[in-house]
Amino acid sequence: MNSSQSPTRAAILGDYPPRKCGIATFTRDLRGALNSNHSGWECPVVTVTEPGSSYHYPSEVRFEIAEPEASGYERAADFLNLSHADVLCLQHEFGIFGGPAGGHITNLLHRARMPVVTTLHTVLAHPTGEQRRSFSELIECSSKLVVMTNHGAEMLRDIHGVSEEKISVIPHGIPDIPFTDPNFYKDHFGVAGRPVLLTFGLLSPGKGVEYAIRALPEIVQEHPDVIYIVLGATHPNLVRQNGESHRESLEQLARDLGVERNVMFVNRYVENAELCEFIGAADIYLTPYLNESQITSGTLAYCFGAGKAVVSTPYWHAAELLSDDRGVLVPFRDAKAIATGVLELFSNEARRHAMRKQAYLMGREMVWSEVALNYAKVFDEARQGFQARGRRLPPKSSVFGKSESLQSFRFSHLRRMSDSTGIFQHAIYSVPWFEHGYCTDDNARGLLLTVMLEQLDECDDSIASIQSSSAAFLQFAFCPESGRFKNFMSFDRQWMETMGSEDSHARAIWALGAVVGRTRVGGLRAWAASLLEQALPVVEGFTSPRAWAFVILGLHEYFRSLHGDLHAHRRRDELAGRLVTLFRRNASPQWPWCEDIATYDNPRIAQALILAGRFTGDEDMKNIGLSGLEWLMDRQIGMDGCFRPIGSNGFWKRGEDAALHDQQPLEAAAAVSACIEAFNATGDPIWKISAKRAFEWFLGRNDLRLPLYDPSTGGCFDGLHDNRVNQNQGAESTLSFLLALAEMRSFSKLNT
C-alpha cells in the first residue's frame, strides 16, 4: 500500500474501557494496534455510555455520547467532521446504540463527512422489521463492511444483498501470545500438575457453562484432579437485572454433582496481561455456547490463536474456525458429548498437540499487528472510493442572513476601523490611528461579534469581510512552534513581539469557541476547531485568572455544538477549579474576591464560574461566582443608581476605595454578559435589571449623564473621565458596545 495515500487520522467509534464488555476491549486493542503499526496516525475515540453509568475514560477518548440521547449522535458527527478524520471506523453491535434497533447511530452516519468502515460484530439471519430497517441504513451509510468470518460475508451477500466489493473479511484480532507448555503458567494459579479446562468471558446464561459442569463427573472419573476454570465477571446487565443468581446457580450445580473442588470460579474482569497467563495455563479451552447464530467470539479467537486445543459447540464462528480438525465440535446442550471430546483429547496427546500447532500457526494471521495492516488497507480503499464517488453533503447555509438596512446596529465605524489585514486597535476621534497597528485582542473580539450577529440575522457583506479578515488575522498570529498567539502587529504588518499575553491568547480561544458553537459556515467551523485544538494545550501553564475565565467562556461557546468533547471538558473543569481555589484562598466576607485587587474585566471571572458551575452541576462553584458578581454589582453603583464600573485609573485595591474615573466600555460589556448569565442560572429578575443598568451606561445613564455611544458614527467613545468623555473611538470600545448590544438583543428575543 502506498503510505502517501494512507489516511492520517482514523477515528474509532465504539464502547471503550473502563466499560467492561467485549466491544470495549476490541475497540481499545484495535486502536492500540493502529497506533503501533502507524505511529503517524492519530486515532481519536468516540464512545457511547449506557444509561446510569459514568466512566473515567483515558485521554484518547475525545467525545462521549449518552446512549439514549439522539442529539448526542449528531453532535458527535459535528465533532468528527471538525476533527478532520479521514475515516470513521465504527464498531457495530445491536444493543449498544440508542433508538429503535440502535437506529440513533444512523443520525451520526448521515451527517459524517468521511468514509465509514463498519465492523459488524453481529449479522442477524432473521432480523425483525425494525432491525432490518436500521441495518439497511447502516449498510447504505458505510463505505466498507468488515466481518470476521467467511460465514458473515455470505450472510451479508445472501440475506442482506450487500455487494461483494463492499465486504472485507478481517479476523478478530488477538494478542501475540507465545506458544508455550501450559505447565509454565499453572503454578501462577495453584494448579501445577493438574489438567486445566478454561472458559472465559463475561458470564451469562447463553455461554452454556452449566453443560460443561455437567460433563465434569465423567471427566473426573478418569482425571480426578482436573480443574475447570470459569474466568470472568458476571455480565453487568445481568447483574443489574438479577444480581449474581446465575453464578450462584452454577456453583450450586457443581456442589450437587460433587465436583465443586474441580471448578474454580474467578469472578472478576481481568486485563490482557493476566488473561494471557490464564490462557497459557489451559490444556483445553471450552466454548459450550448455546446459540448457533454467534458469528464472532473474541474469546475463541484469543484461545485458538494462542495454540489451545478447543472443544466447542458448532456456533457459526467455531464451525468455521475449528473445521479441518483444528478443534473438536460437539452438539449443543450435550454434556455427554463435551465429556467425550475432552477425554479423547486428554487420551490422544499426539492429536491434541497437532491441533494446538495447527491453530497457533493459523493464528499468526490474527495477531493485532496483522489485523491492523488489513484495516489500514480497507481504510485506504474506503477513502479512495469515497473520493472517487463523492458523497452528497447537506446543503451549506449561506454565510449570513438577509442583507438589509440595520435599524439598531450601525457598523459604519467598525467598517472604517477594518481593512483586509484586520481591525485597527485605536482611533484618534473617529479616524483609524494607523500608528498603533492591529492586535489579536481586538480581532478576536471582532470575530466573536460577527458570529453573534450571524445568529441574530444582523449581517451584511461588510461584516462577512470583517469576519474573514479577523479569522485570517488570528491564523497569522498563531505560532505553531510555541503554541501561542502573538498580539501586537504594526501597520506595516510586522509583529512587534514574539509572544502575546495570556489574556490575548485566551480571548482568541474564546472567539474560536464561538465560531465552532455558533456559526453555520462549515469551513469556518472546521478551521476554528482545528486552531482551537492547537491553541488549547498551552493554557495549562497560564497563571492569569482572567485568561482562565476567557478560556472557560470560549469552551462553553464550543460546547454549544460539541459538549461531548472530553478534552475540552477536562480543561474547563481544571481552570474553573483553579478559580474556585483562588476564591477560597483569598476571599473574606468583606472582600469576596479572588485577588487583592479588582482590575479589568472583573465580571468575566464571575461569569465563568457561574457558567461552569451551572453546566457541571457544581452548586458551590456557581454560588461563588454569583456571590462575587453580586458584590461587584452592588459596589459599582453611582449617582441615582447608575452603573459605575471600577475606573482603570488605579482600579480597586483591597482595603482602599475603588477608582472612580477612566471608566471603560469593556467593563460595562462584561457586566451585561455576566448579569445575563446570572439570570440564566437563577431566574432572579434582579439580574435582568442589573444587565439593563450596565447597558444603559453606554447610552448616558452614568455619572456624567453623557452617552458613550455615538450614533452619528456607529462608534463608542473610549471611556468616561472625571469631567468628560474620551472622544477617541477605538476598536475595543466600539466592539464592547456592539457585543453588549448583541447580548441584549439576543437576551430580549429569548425573554419576550
How far apart are alpha carbons 478 and 489 in whole angstroms?
12
Which domains, and CATH codes, for the chain?
3-173+370-389 (3.40.50.2000), 183-365 (3.40.50.2000), 417-581 (1.50.10.10), 587-752 (1.50.10.10)
Provide the pLDDT for residue 5: 45
Provide the pLDDT for residue 83: 82
How far apart are alpha carbons 583 and 631 in whole angstroms?
13
- The CB density around residue 59, as the number of other CB atoms within 10 Å, is 10
Provide the pLDDT for residue 275: 86
Q: What is the DSSP string of 326-391?
A: TSEE--TT-HHHHHHHHHHHHH-HHHHHHHHHHHHHHHTTTBHHHHHHHHHHHHHHHHHHHHHH--
Cβ-in-10-Å burial (0-12, 13-18, 19+) of 37 comes to: middle
CA dihedral defined by 551, 553, 556, 560, rounded to 10 degrees? -120
H or E element, residue 162: none
Query: CA torsion sign, 538 to 539 to 541 to 544?
Result: positive
Residue segments in the chain with a per-residue pLDDT below the cut of 50:
1-6, 39-40, 390-407
**Residue with C-alpha cell 449498544?**
96
Contact 88, 81 (CB under 8 A): no
- Which set of grid coordinates corresponds to residue 20? 467492561
Contacts of 403 (CB under 8 A, 6+ apart): 459, 460, 461
Here the contacts of 461-465 (C-beta below 8 Å, separation 24 or greater) are 461/400, 461/403, 462/411, 462/415, 463/400, 463/411, 464/399, 464/400, 465/418
Does the reported pTM lie above 0.85? no
How far apart are alpha carbons 55 and 713 in whole angstroms?
55
Q: What is the pLDDT of residues 660-686, one digit of tens each?
A: 999 999 999 999 999 999 999 999 999
How far apart are alpha carbons 421 and 438 in whole angstroms?
8
- Which set of grid coordinates corresponds to residue 143? 463505505
Provide the pLDDT for residue 396: 32
Q: What angle do CA 750, 446, 579 make, to 5 degrees?
A: 70
Maximum Cα–Cα distance across the chain:
106
Provide the pLDDT for residue 235: 85
How far apart are alpha carbons 598 and 719 in whole angstroms?
18
Provide the pLDDT for residue 176: 87
3-state SS, residue 605: helix
Provide the pLDDT for residue 181: 87
- Which set of grid coordinates corresponds to residue 448? 466573536
Judging by DSSP bridges, how do beta strands 87-92 and 715-716 pair with one another? unpaired
Distance of CA 482 to the CA centre of its chain: 25
Position 435, amino acid: E
Contact 559, 64 (CB under 8 A): no
